[in-house]
């Protein structure tokens, strides 16, 4: 399963109805947390996210609405007796911020916490796991900020059973064929792997654009994505304010989704001045039909 569960979709100030940014990316058994606004650990409890499966945390930037929930979560994992390692990827100063908080409380974590600093402006692959590959890319915001692209690897080739049988390959060998191996017959002749299999289906991709001004430079990361998330802090009537604060509008997010020919668009990071979210859809759907509100507690398949 490759899916995104929304835990928070508000910007800046937490409200009783909406929480600051946090999302969980599920890649089969492993979970990634993407941003960790205040209250994230309560949202994790509310939506029954399995904390023990959390393996990686990605923090886009150091505005508080994207990481003020982090130390609380790390501390709770420790109190719950976690022993599995946990890795955090984020802007370099975050490492010191966490360490200062732990040191001041004389907290010794019982699990291994590793930190991977992201250099401002860097783009490229930051994580390769057995099923998951994650890249980061810079977004244009008031302070250094990163988007993340999650790709779920499908490494197994597609077996053509009739062809394999025609070459008299025993069924017990089929899983090796899916891994890309050739087959040597008893008479020594080789059955080439691509005679009996097809390449694996293309990897599915979720692209999280974090906080950003409207920027067509993001298109190279978004092109053909299965699911993209883009912030829409404001409706388009406030596009000037959006630009001043390095944020975007629903119209702008939808235009990027259309230009990038993604399959689905998720919008979030709504200013707390909006109590109704319907107008965000009304603005974006005429430009990009397959738009959804990043509603808290809802899981979107990639
Ligand atoms: Zn921000």
Residue 4, CB half-sphere, CA atoms under 13 Å: how many?
33
Calculate how far, in angstroms, residue 180's C-alpha sits from the geometric centre of ligand 1: 44
Residues 6+ apart with CB under 8 A from 58: 32, 33, 34, 35, 88, 89, 90, 134, 136, 146, 148, 208
Q: What is the pLDDT of residue 200?
A: 87
How many residues in the chain? 302
Residue 128 has pLDDT above 90, yes or no: yes
Q: What is the pLDDT of residue 137?
A: 98
Calculate how far, in angstroms, residue 210's C-alpha sits from the geometric centre of ligand 1: 8
Domain boundaries, given as residue ranges, for the chain = 2-153+203-301, 158-198
Calculate how far, in angstroms, residue 61's C-alpha sits from the geometric centre of ligand 1: 7
pLDDT classification of 231: cutoffs 50, 70, 90:
very high
Is 282 exposed, middle or buried (CB count within 10 Å of its CB: 0-12, 13-18, 19+)? exposed
Please say whether the beta carbons of 207 and 221 come within 8 A: yes
Q: What is the pLDDT of residue 64?
A: 96
DSSP 82-119: --S-EEEEEETHHHHHHHHHHHHTT---SS-EEEEEEP
Q: Is the dihedral of CA 134, 136, 142, 143 positive or negative?
A: positive
* Cα pseudo-dihedral 290, 291, 294, 297, rounded to 10: -30
The reply to whether 65 belongs to the active site is yes
236 is in an annotated binding site: no
Calculate how far, in angstroms, residue 82's C-alpha sits from the geometric centre of ligand 1: 30
Q: Which of 273, 212, 229, 208 is nearest to 18 (CA)?
A: 273
Q: What is the pLDDT of residue 222?
A: 97
230 is in an annotated binding site: no
Calculate how far, in angstroms, residue 115's C-alpha sits from the geometric centre of ligand 1: 21
pLDDT in tens, 163-190: 999 999 999 999 999 999 999 998 899 9
- Give the SS3 label for residue 266: strand
Share of the chain above pLDDT 70, in %: 100
- pLDDT-wise least confident of 36-40, 113-117, 129-133: 129-133
DSSP 125-189: EEEE-SSEEEEEEEE-SSS-EEEEEEEE---SPEE-HHHHHHTT--GGGHHHHHTT--EE-TTS-
Residue 155 has pLDDT above 90, yes or no: no
Rounded (5°) CA angle 118-257-38: 45
Residue 154 has pLDDT above 80, yes or no: no
Share of the chain above pLDDT 90, in %: 92
Mean pLDDT of 139-143: 97
Tokens standing for residue 82: 């976690």
Residue 147 has pLDDT above 90, yes or no: yes
Calculate how far, in angstroms, residue 231's C-alpha sits from the geometric centre of ligand 1: 10
pLDDT in tens, 2-42: 999 999 999 988 888 899 999 999 999 999 999 999 999 99
Tokens standing for residue 58: 């990605």
pLDDT in tens, 75-88: 999 999 999 999 99
211 is in an annotated binding site: yes
Task: Domain 2-153+203-301: give its CATH code.
Answer: 3.60.15.10
- Give the SS3 label for residue 229: strand
- Give the SS3 label for residue 20: strand
Residue 156 has pLDDT above 90, yes or no: no
Measured CA to CA in angstroms, residue 86 lies from 55, 65, 79, 82, 133 at distances of 5, 22, 15, 10, 16
Q: What is the pLDDT of residue 12?
A: 83
Q: What is the pLDDT of residue 26?
A: 97
Calculate how far, in angstroms, residue 190's C-alpha sits from the geometric centre of ligand 1: 57
Q: Per the residue annotation, which of 65, 103, 194, 215 is the catalytic one?
A: 65
Longest dimension (CA), the chain: 75
Q: How far apart are CA 37 and CA 12, in angstroms?
A: 9
């Amino acid at each position: 399963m490759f899916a995104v569960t929304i835990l928070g979709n508000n910007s800046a100030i937490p409200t009783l109805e909406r929480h600051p940014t946090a999302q969980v990316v599920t890649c089969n058994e492993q979970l990634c947390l993407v941003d960790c606004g205040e209250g994230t650990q309560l949202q994790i409890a509310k939506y029954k996210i399995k904390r023990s499966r959390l393996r990686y945390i990605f923090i886009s930037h150091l505005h508080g609405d994207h990481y003020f929930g982090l130390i609380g979560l790390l501390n709770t994992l420790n109190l719950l007796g976690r022993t599995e390692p946990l890795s955090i990827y984020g802007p370099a100063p975050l490492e010191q911020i966490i360490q200062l908080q732990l040191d001041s409380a004389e907290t010794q974590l019982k699990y291994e916490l590793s930190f991977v600093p992201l250099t401002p402006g860097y783009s490229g692959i930051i994580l390769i796991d057995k099923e998951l590959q994650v890249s980061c890319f810079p977004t244009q915001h008031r302070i250094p900020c990163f988007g993340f692209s999650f790709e779920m690897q499908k490494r197994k080739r597609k077996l053509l059973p009739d062809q394999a049988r025609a070459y008299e390959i025993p069924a017990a060998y089929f899983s090796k064929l899916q891994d890309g191996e050739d087959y040597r017959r008893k008479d020594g002749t080789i059955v080439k792997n691509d005679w009996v299999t097809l390449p694996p289906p293309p990897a599915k991709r979720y692209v999280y654009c974090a906080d950003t001004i409207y920027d067509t430079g993001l298109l190279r990361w978004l092109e053909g994505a299965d699911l993209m998330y883009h912030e829409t802090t404001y409706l388009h009537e406030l596009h000037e304010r959006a630009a001043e604060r390095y944020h975007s509008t629903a119209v702008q997010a939808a235009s990027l989704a259309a230009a990038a020919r993604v399959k689905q668009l998720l919008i979030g990071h709504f200013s707390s001045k909006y109590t109704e979210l319907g107008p965000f859809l009304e603005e974006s759907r005429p430009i990009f039909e397959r738009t959804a509100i990043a509603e808290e507690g809802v899981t979107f398949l990639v």
